[in-house]
Amino acid sequence: MTRKTLTLALACTLYAAAETPVYLNPDAPIEQRIEDALSRMTLEEKVAMCHAQSKFSSPGVPRLGIPEVRMSDGPHGVRAEINWDNWGYAGWTNDSVTAFPALTALAATWNPALSAIYGKNVGEEARYREKDVLLGPGVNIYRTPLNGRNFEYMGEDPYLASVMVVPYIQELQKNGVAACVKHFAANNQEQWRGNVNPTMSDRALYEIYLPAFKAAVEQGGAWSIMGAYNKLWNQHCCHNKRLLEDILRGEWGFDGAVITDWGGAHDTREAALNGLDIEMGSFTNGLTTESEFTYDDYYLGKGFRELIQSGEVPESVADDKVRRILRLIFRTAMNTGKPFGSLCSPEHYAAAKAIGDESIVLLKNSGILPLDPAKTGRVLVVGDNAVRRLTDGGGSSELKVKDYISPLQAIRSVFGADNVDFAEGYRAGRPMYGRVDEIPAAIQDSLRAEAVAKAAQADVVIFIGGLNKNAGQDCEGTDRESYDLPFGQDVLIEELINANPNIVIANISGNAYAMPWADKVPAILHTSYLGTMGGASMADVLTGAVNPSGKLPYSIPVRLADCGAHSFGVESYPGVESETGDVLFGVCAPQQTYAEDILVGYRWHDTKKIPARYPFGHGLSYTTFAYGKPELSAKTISPDGSITLTVPVTNTGSREGAEVVQLYIGDDKASVLRPLKELKAFDKITLAPGETREVKFTISPDMLAFFDADAHAWRSEPGTFTAYVGGSSTATPAKAKFRLTE
């Protein structure tokens, strides 16, 4: 019998007693249950609920039959079981899961319906594993392509991230599993993540870095939020008064629990008074016989209790925290209406495949794709990622998968094993966390020579390289070391091109990277980490069984210097170490300025006229689409009105395909700096050959507003605006002007 089962058994005993506690009645109003439970608790029990009791759980109140809160890393799947008192894997045989595509892949689908499917299915697996809180999804903004954790987020645009995160949360929580949206806020790099202290304007904060969190709370109804490691305004985010009290609870009305990132608390008084509810961490095994530091020594442990007992902090502060924790427990662990869940079901695999299919972005195609297996001839697959299990490594998102279809396995299945040869080409080493696994140059030279020799004998070469989950690449705890591909891949690609020009680049990466060879290859696929069914999705796109419809959720700059965050020196990224500040992870608090301000991603490229190699929203199809003339329902819009924009879109190709119709709006003349245009709406439509559909967008005044920091309010200025409609941030052939009146 599990610990939670024992607790619930006690609850049933209490419920059957003569005096039925209100808090145990699932039919009673939840706020009444909270107050009843709170009234029965001692101060020691209240404080105990505010900090961890193991690596992935916080206590309930066993005396009252209130169960603990069990958490698990996510959001791409439920992490393998971790030991109760150390970071080793427990070695269970029943904790293998479905690996769903990374969130950057989900964002690349531009399909909110798939986001709902994603949340539903990953929630079923979390419920089956008896988890109460899934630590995700992540919605930090893609500010720099060097951020090692970008693959866990939803791209560079706050509107896209906002639209995509809401269905995920809603469907996840229908399983009685809380979303823990992370990392609040401005956790936009891994280097010095524990205490980097960024400075940004309120406009950048409210226009770029907060909207997805706001949508997660106000529209998604998230039950918990995870604080970020970094500082903001010289105060750590996990107990940052302005973030947690003023904005999250004050402005957005958040009623859920705030949970630290592991080890993200730094001060007892701030943690007590500034809105933190549950402190999690990594510092102890919790056994007093083996460690002088126990869970009661956490900032929200005995130090918090002593502040209350001395009268320095009123007990009502603890009461407020416990109310929010109880609300979380009643929504999850004590939710008698939650389903049972399921694990690794055919439906989950189908969901992972569908998301992967729509996430793959066709960046370039001169006609070589799709490949016909009956006519292609001899295929050579080159690259470590063709065979590497990319669910390993990466930090907290690492998954123990039951099944994994690699690209090489899927390609051999489609083209025939006898027709497909393989060469490593380069070797990336083992999945590593915290350090780089170096491969001797002589080995890399030998692997490259072998691949080039085989390429000369092949009819088609499919190169499947990119990044992986090793330290210094797409990995928690480290940022990337370079914008270039690692392990000499650029040299290898150039030599493969010289040996055989019939080459398809099908790299896997959760980030943008330099492509100095882009003009020399006939086709490029951009694929994120697609999990269990990833190889099957890639093979189906390569052969045309699936018509690609993914669109980039971030820009791919030509050079790193073309990115706004890297245009102002080290003060902007990664920051400059200071001589003051607390020490965490061995460094003092670096100071950093977000000098690009609101001009993040395509906003920077468009406004500064610095073209990206491949722009935000870009993605090709095996068919083609044409945009007709847009029509407005009116040429003016009043401050309390709206207008409708209608644009016809036609499939001008020979096969069915899906197009993401994107609406951007630009303020032609403003009193403040504004981007050339900003994404305000999109609609993914599927059209048969020759079919035309009218796509309608409603334009309202709030879509025209900017954040006025002086007034601390959103404001729209009367004047002329331009609506841009098309298939990417730069391909917007349909344009229409309108005016906002006084």
Would residue 368 be called left, alpha or beta, if left means φ above 0 and alpha means ψ between -120 and 50 degrees? Answer: alpha
Going by DSSP bridges, is the β-strand pair 133-135/69-73 parallel, antiparallel, or unpaired?
A: parallel
Listed residue (91, 102, 103, 95) closest to 79, CA to CA = 95
Q: How far apart are CA 388 and CA 408, in angstroms?
A: 10
Per the listing, tokens 């469907």 go with 171
Contacts of 264 (CB under 8 A, 6+ apart): 227, 228, 229, 236, 237, 238, 280, 281
- Bridge partners of 737? 722
d(CA 57, CA 60): 9
Q: What are phi and psi of 643, to 5 degrees?
A: -135, 165
Query: Phi and psi dihedrals of 507, rounded to 5?
Result: -70, 155
Are 533 and 352 in contact by the 8 Å Cβ rule? The answer is: yes
Residue in 157, 261, 277, 562 annotated catalytic: 261
- Please state, in angstroms and as integers, the Cα–Cα distance from residue 17 to each residue in 7, 11, 28, 39, 67, following that order: 16, 10, 17, 18, 18
* Straight-line distance from the first to the last Cα atom of the chain, in angstroms, rounded to the nearest whole number: 68
Give catalytic status of residue 261 as yes or no.
Answer: yes
Q: Which residues contact 67 (CB under 8 A, 6 or more apart)?
A: 4, 7, 8, 11, 60, 329, 333, 334
What's the CA gap between 473 and 466, in Å, rounded?
Answer: 10
DSSP state of 410: H
Distance, in Å, from the CA atom of 550 to the CA atom of 107, rounded to the nearest integer, reads 9
- Cβ contacts of 84 within 8 Å, gap of 6 or more: 54, 55
Chain length of the chain? 742
Answer whether the bond into residue 62 is a cis peptide, omega within 30°.
no
Q: Which of 78, 725, 544, 210 is nearest to 523 (CA)?
A: 544
What is Dmax (Cα atoms) for the chain? 84
| Distance (Å, whole) CA 48 – CA 62 | 11
d(CA 48, CA 58) in angstroms, rounded, equals 8
Tokens of 614: 């491949």
Catalytic residues: 261
